[in-house]
Amino acid sequence: MISPPWQKKNPLWGASNTAYARWLPADYEDGFSVPKGWNQSKTYNGFSLPLVRQVSHEILHTRNENISLDSSYTHMLVEWGQWIDHDMDLTPQSASTVSFTDGADCSHGCINRNPCFPIQIPAGDFRLGGGTMKCMPFIRSSPACGSGQSSFLLGQLQPREQLNSLTSFVDGSMIYGSTASLARKLRNFTQALGLLAVNQEFSDGGLPLLPFAEKKSPNPCALTRDSCLANASDVPCFVAGDSWSNEHLGIQVLHTVFLRESNRIATTLHQLNPQWSGEILYQETRKVIGAYLQIINWRDYVPKILGPEATEAYLPPYSGYDESVDPRISNVFATAAFRFAHVTINPFLSRLDENFEENPSHPSISLHQSFFSPWRIIEEGGIDPILRGEIFTLAKLQTATQMMPEELTEKLFHPKKALSLDLAALNLQRGRDHGLLGYNSWRRFCGLPEAHTFSDLQHILNSSYLAHKLLKLYGTPENIDVWIGAIAEPLLPSARVGELLACLLGRQFQALRDGDRFWWENEGVFTHRQREELAKVTLFRILCDNTHLHHLPADVFSTSHFPSDFVSCKSSQIPRVDLTAWREDSADTPCGPVPLVEGAHYVQCKASVFFECWPGYIREGPSSITCNVEDREWSTVLPVCRDIDECEHSQENPCPSPQICVNIPGSFKCACQGSLVPSQDGTTCIGRLG
């Protein structure tokens, strides 16, 4: 039995700033909070855990020029994975960046002292050259309230849990923000049109760009430019709903495209429904964008990753919202499983001209040169060259001997090698910080055979090379970190993950779909006709409608040949979503046309109509009217929207007797005179009791 919406059994499932779900118990060194590897002398199953930097350097590190390319999929598939991940999970690190015990800065020390958990650099690592860098900074994730040390205050000890600062659901939070304050900051309130704010200083050939964040000194988005250039402008970071929106050019491009698409939809809805307020336009637009993201992700992206067999097993046809399904993001998904795509990132970012060839004015660059560099979009040709590169350049193919290019293991986020981070080491350290159980435990969770011997591991990985490497470092399969074990597995047929990742990803995407009561297919979220139109959405059409591109492959995730596989943006071959399905007909009601209220917007909802006064007006009377279907009549009492300056300029009192009009700064109200007080419904004044 489905509970009514106001009586949800688990109202906090999927809410922001709540703990990740634990599909298996946490595994800490002390069983409570301390991560494994904290005490390097401690052994597990008779062996010490290897340093995460050692695992990265000896197993994952691959020279940029030695990678293999994916013959089936483009780099847009990789970009989409990160884009949608930023809608589902974000783990905040500890608010403190200094040791709780002695105040030492976590970015400088090499000793484990909460929240500092630095990544030690092993002997023989070239990073030790010169003796200036003995560790990479790492700060532990913030614990959820009531877990770890804070559980002492509640009198019931609970192992340390980590927070998801976003809503779990795919709802466009990376576009619109996950807090009320950020959401308001991203909006354009100069007109009541439901628009997002755009850049006021620059455009992309007439198309809008993301607005700038507040300028900071030093500018974190000038890391990749030559500050010695005399004409180097100090372009600040962009601002969007995701705090990582400036991470690299590929993600900045998708943010820009969906900013434009949101404003395009809002503008169209305003033309269709001029009676809607800016707030209704904004909310309805976000609802449509959320549906777009869900459809493209589950229909076009996930099956390519899981492969046909796992997709059929974990994502059967949708059968409706199930309130018993927990839609929270699991800790293993956020911290390990969905980080599989890190080994599919191409180390080069291509920028192509209109013929999909190298752009002579702004040539391709190494990936690390695109980190935190919005200035490249403004000064080096806009987003179109980057988009052409993303949909034409191949993704990296994950193989046993070519896991992660040095762009990510040696040059992450910093242009100077001595200061760079290592993405593989960060992933492994984060898994230990979060208390994730090892590789075998998760295979057992998924009902898969475990590896107990070299022969078992060799068989599962289909690689004696990887089995030797892993056992040399870990000693036993029982100690292997889940992330490295999962990405080491051979790919399933027509998939881009192995059997363990297919299980973990499949379970999560199933829970996110079936446990979301606002899923686009759920009855009552959209009308039947609206669902029919939404099903037509394609990333092809979104890119065509919001860029200067004229031809694209129909499936921008799959490899193509130019120009034979490309389709004109003007072609009717790829349909458009017809937004007239959202038009409200004010005359199409059992009670006849909706009564007009001067100075008010309105929106219809089944048999009711809700009014909202224009900015600068204040409402008196009810906020809604209802159609009595039996009598075919509207409620007799209509609201009145009065200009806030009306009482100042009116010759007569506009308030109902015996109230008087009172001016207050920026507003006005009808107040009771003398000893009179408002009646319970606020429509008149009555004498004081007693």
pLDDT, one tens digit per residue, over 514-553 is: 999 999 999 999 999 999 999 999 999 999 999 999 999 9
Report whether CATH 1.10.150.20 matches the domain 5-167+331-345+398-488: no
Q: Six-digit token pair at 366?
A: 């190494």
> Is 360 buried (19+), middle (13-18) or exposed (0-12) by CB count in 10 A?
exposed
Cβ 22 vs Cβ 144: under 8 Å: no
Q: What is residue 52's predicted lDDT score, i.e. its pLDDT? A: 97
Query: Is the confidence at residue 661, as pLDDT, over 80?
Result: no
Between 68 and 5, residue with greater pLDDT: 68
Q: Six-digit token pair at 286?
A: 């976000």
Instruction: Report CA torsion sign: 327, 331, 334, 339.
Output: negative
Q: Six-digit token pair at 587?
A: 């005359």
Dmax (CA) of the chain: 95
What are 573-592's pLDDT values in tens digits?
A: 999 999 999 999 888 888 88
Q: Where residue 257 falls among pLDDT bands split at 50, 70, 90?
A: very high
Rounded CA gap, 446 and 46, in Å?
A: 26
Q: What is the dihedral of CA 22, 23, 28, 31, to 10 degrees?
A: 90
Cβ 251 vs Cβ 79: under 8 Å: yes
> Quick one: which of 279, 177, 258, 290 has its CA closest to 526?
290
Segment (H or E) for 278: helix 278-295
Q: Where residue 615 falls among pLDDT bands split at 50, 70, 90?
A: confident
DSSP 3-state of 144: coil
Q: What is residue 648's predicted lDDT score, i.e. its pLDDT? A: 61
Query: Is the confidence at residue 117, as pLDDT, over 70?
Result: yes
Q: What is residue 644's predicted lDDT score, i.e. its pLDDT? A: 73
- Strand pairing class (667-672; 677-678): unpaired
Q: What is residue 561's predicted lDDT score, i.e. its pLDDT? A: 94
Q: What is residue 413's predicted lDDT score, i.e. its pLDDT? A: 75
Residue 224 neighbours by CB under 8 Å, 6+ apart: 368, 369, 370, 371, 372, 373, 376, 415
- DSSP 8-state code for residue 610: E
Query: Is the confidence at residue 662, as pLDDT, over 80?
Result: no
Q: Six-digit token pair at 666?
A: 């920026």
Fold of 584-643: Complement Module; domain 1 (2.10.70)
> Quick one: which of 431, 356, 416 has its CA closest to 386?
356
Q: Six-digit token pair at 630?
A: 């039996």
Q: What is residue 344's predicted lDDT score, i.e. its pLDDT? A: 96
Helices (runs of H) and strands (runs of E) counted in the chain: 21, 26
Q: What are phi and psi of 459, to 5 degrees?
A: -70, -45
> Quick one: which of 202, 252, 222 has its CA closest to 82?
252
Rounded CA gap, 452 and 205, in Å?
A: 60
Q: Where residue 676 falls among pLDDT bands split at 50, 70, 90?
A: confident
DSSP 3-state of 445: helix
Q: What is residue 480's predicted lDDT score, i.e. its pLDDT? A: 98
Assess whether 86 carries a catalytic annotation: yes
Q: What pTM was computed for the model? A: 0.91
Query: Is the confidence at residue 358, as pLDDT, over 50?
Result: yes
Cβ 306 vs Cβ 221: under 8 Å: no
Q: Where residue 417 falls among pLDDT bands split at 50, 70, 90?
A: very low
Q: What is residue 646's predicted lDDT score, i.e. its pLDDT? A: 67
Rounded CA gap, 333 and 504, in Å?
A: 7
Residue % of the chain over a pLDDT of 70:
90
> Quick one: which of 181, 205, 298, 334 has its CA closest to 260?
205
- Strand pairing class (404-405; 551-553): unpaired
Q: How many CA atoms lie within 13 A of 135 on its CB side?
A: 17
Q: Where residue 673 falls among pLDDT bands split at 50, 70, 90?
A: low
Cβ 332 vs Cβ 442: under 8 Å: yes
DSSP 3-state of 359: coil
Rounded CA gap, 606 and 483, in Å?
A: 49
> Quick one: which of 289, 3, 344 has its CA closest to 169?
289
Task: Please list, residue by residue across 90-120, b when 16 or more beta carbons sit within 10 angstroms of its beta carbon and e when fewer do.
Answer: bbebbeeebbeeeeeebeebeebbbbbbbbb
Q: What is residue 664's predicted lDDT score, i.e. its pLDDT? A: 55
Cβ 164 vs Cβ 329: under 8 Å: yes
Q: What is residue 108's predicted lDDT score, i.e. its pLDDT? A: 83
Q: Where residue 689 falls among pLDDT bands split at 50, 70, 90?
A: very low
Query: Is the confidence at residue 459, as pLDDT, over 70?
Result: yes
Angstrom CA distances, 173 to 107, 266, 290, 405, 526, stand at 30, 17, 9, 30, 20
Which one-letter amino acid corresponds to residue 103? G
Residue 92 neighbours by CB under 8 Å, 6+ apart: 141, 142, 163, 165
Q: What is residue 155's predicted lDDT score, i.e. its pLDDT? A: 66
Query: Is the confidence at residue 356, as pLDDT, over 80?
Result: yes
What are 131-143's pLDDT values in tens digits?
A: 556 899 999 999 9
Q: What is residue 127's predicted lDDT score, i.e. its pLDDT? A: 74
DSSP 3-state of 548: coil
Residue 283 neighbours by CB under 8 Å, 6+ apart: 194
DSSP 3-state of 643: strand
Q: What is residue 690's predicted lDDT score, i.e. its pLDDT? A: 39
Query: Is the confidence at residue 231, as pLDDT, over 60?
Result: no
Q: Where residue 1 falls among pLDDT bands split at 50, 70, 90?
A: very low
Q: Six-digit token pair at 239?
A: 């601002």
Query: Is the confidence at residue 149, as pLDDT, over 80?
Result: no
Average of per-residue pLDDT values in the chain: 90
Lowest-pLDDT range of 44-53, 460-469, 623-632: 623-632
Lowest-pLDDT range of 74-88, 308-322, 351-365, 663-677: 663-677
- Strand pairing class (404-405; 61-62): parallel
Rounded CA gap, 463 and 210, in Å?
A: 46
> Quick one: which of 152, 145, 156, 121 has its CA closest to 135?
121
Rounded CA gap, 640 and 626, in Å?
A: 16
What are 385-415's pLDDT values in tens digits?
A: 999 999 999 999 999 999 999 999 988 876 4
Q: Where residue 680 falls among pLDDT bands split at 50, 70, 90?
A: low
Cβ 162 vs Cβ 20: under 8 Å: yes
Rounded CA gap, 524 and 245, in Å?
A: 33
Which of 430-434, 629-633, 660-664, 686-690 tops mean pLDDT? 430-434
Q: At what angle do helices 384-392 and 249-272 cross, to 10 degrees?
A: 110
Q: Six-digit token pair at 456?
A: 């078992």
Query: Is the confidence at residue 667, as pLDDT, over 80?
Result: no
Kindly state the average pLDDT of the residues 30-37: 93
- Ordered by start, the domain boundaries in the chain are 5-167+331-345+398-488, 584-643, 645-690
Q: What is residue 290's predicted lDDT score, i.e. its pLDDT? A: 98
Query: Is the confidence at residue 153, as pLDDT, over 90?
Result: no
Query: Is the confidence at residue 157, as pLDDT, over 90?
Result: no
Rounded CA gap, 276 and 600, in Å?
A: 9
Q: What is residue 418's predicted lDDT score, i.e. its pLDDT? A: 47
List, in sequence order, every residue forming a beta bridge with 18; answer none if it has no partner.
Answer: 164
Write down the CATH superfamily of domain 645-690: Laminin (2.10.25.10)
Kindly state the average pLDDT of the residues 308-330: 97
Rounded CA gap, 411 and 393, in Å?
A: 21
One-character DSSP codes across 27-74:
--TTSSSPPTTSSTT-EETTEEPPPHHHHIIIIIEE-GGGPPEEEEEE
Query: Is the confidence at residue 219, as pLDDT, over 90?
Result: no
Q: Where residue 7 falls among pLDDT bands split at 50, 70, 90?
A: low
Cβ 603 vs Cβ 609: under 8 Å: yes
Q: Six-digit token pair at 668?
A: 């006005």
Kindly state the average pLDDT of the residues 361-383: 93
Identify the active-site residue in 86, 248, 270, 601. 86
Rounded CA gap, 479 and 42, in Å?
A: 13
What are 472-490's pLDDT values in tens digits?
A: 999 999 999 999 999 999 9
